[in-house]
Structure 1
Amino acid sequence: MTDEPDEKLNALEKVGTALVEQLMKVVDEGVGPLSGSRTYAEARAASYEDPEKAIRRIISETTVMVGTAGFVTGLGGLITLPVTLPANITGQAILNARLVGAIAHLRGWDLRDELVRNAVLITVAGGQPNAVLAQFGVKVSQKLTETAIRRIPIEVVRAINKKAGFMLVAKYGTKRSLITLTKLVPVVGGVVGGTVDAAFTGVVARVAKKAFPPLGSDDNVEVADAQ
C-alpha cells in the first residue's frame, strides 16, 4: 500500500525542482534569444558609469518584454517541465529570473554561491529571501562568502532549494493551467496563486533591489547554527 500524501508531495517537488533547474539555466546561460543574467547585466552596464542606471534600464526593458505577449509566449515554449504550464506564464518566469540575476550581479553578489542562487529564486517568486533563509537558521547580513557557504550543511541548502521550488510552482501556476498538476497533486490546489501578470515584474524588481543591496569590500554573512 502506497503513501498517497507522500506521492503527491514528491510529484510537486519534482515539478518545483525542474522549474528551479530551468530558471537557473536562464540566469547562467540564457535561453533562446536571451543572454544570461551576467552577460545581459554587463552589456547594459557598459553604457553607464552608474550601475544603478543600468539596473533601471534593465527593469524598464524587462517590463516591456513581459508585456509583449507573443515574445513571452515564445520564451515559455523553451522550458521543459514534467507538467506543462502555459507558455506565457513560464515566459514571464524566464524574464523575471534573468532580471533578478542581473540586479544581483550588478550590485556585487556572486551568482555562483548557492545561497545567492536560492535568494534569486525566492525573489523571482515574489518572496523575501531573508525571511525564508531565516527559517533555516541562516542570517544574511550582507555578502555570502565562500567560507560562510561551507559552514552551511548541504542538507540545509537543499531544503532551502526545495522551498524555493514550491514557492515558484505556487506563484507561476494558475488554477486553470495546473489542471494536470492538480490532478497529480490535489493538495496543490489551495496553494496555487492567480495568474501572473506584467505588473508582477515590478513587484519582483522592487523585492530584488531590497534583497540585493550594493555590496562593499567589508561585507559579510552571519550563519546561525542550522538545525
Structure 2
Amino acid sequence: MADQLYLSLWFPNFRFEALPAALVGVMQQFAVISGDKRVTAATTYPISFNESPAWQRIYVNDERAQTSDDSLIENAVAEATEQLHDDMTYEFEMRWNLWAPLSDDDFHNRLDSGPDPESARAFGLDTIWKPQPRTVRILGFGPSFDDASYEQNGHIRIDFGLDTPWIVEDLDPEDFDQDAAKHIQQNVEMLLAFTLLVEKHCGISSRLLWTESGEPLAQKLIDRLQRLN
C-alpha cells in the first residue's frame, strides 16, 4: 500500500528567527538535485493544519514569468516569512522529476500520436518509463504551532508525497525488468543525494526519513524486491 514519505530535520540550539535562513538552505540543496531554483507555491498556516491558510501565493513559472525573480527560493521565503509568528507553519512547494511508468491514459495517448504503425507496435512491447514532475513540500514549523509539533516533525519537514516512485507497488511482476530496476534505483539515488546534501551543508543535528505507517522505506524496498524475484 502506498505510504506518505517524510524527512524531518532538527537543528542544534535552534532559534525561531533562524527559520527563514534554514528553509533557504534546505531548499537550495533540493534545487541542486531538481535543477530548479523556483518555488511553485507558498502557504502559511496559523495555529494548526485544521485552520484555513493565513496567506498563500501560487507562482506562475512558465516562459512569461522567467523574467520575474519572485519565485526564486530566497525571494519566496522572504515574502512568506516577512512577519514571523511562532504559532505558524510556513510551507513551500517545489518540484522534481522522478521516473515513473506511463499510466494507461498516457500510454494510449502515445499510441494515438505515434508517427507510424511501427512506432505504435514498439510502444506496446515494454512498459514505458518517463520522468514525471512531482511536488515536494518543505515546511518550517513555529515552536508554538500545533502544540509544539516540531518536536516530532522536526524544525523543518520535507513531505515527498506518496512513496510510489521508490516502491512502484502497482507495477506488474512481469513488467519489473532491468529497465524498471534501473529507473527505481535512479529515484532512490536522487532521494539519498538530497538527504546527504542536507546533512553536509545545512548544519542539522539529526534527521529522520520516515513513513506515515512507521514502516522503514528500506524495508519496504527489500520486501518489494523479494516479492518480485
Q: Which has the larger radius of gyration?
A: 2
> So what's the TM-score if we normalise by structure 2?
0.25
Greater relative CO, 1 or 2 (CA 8 Å, sep 6+): 2
Give the helix-richer structure, 1 or 2: 1
Give the strand-richer structure, 1 or 2: 2
> So what's the TM-score if we normalise by structure 1?
0.25
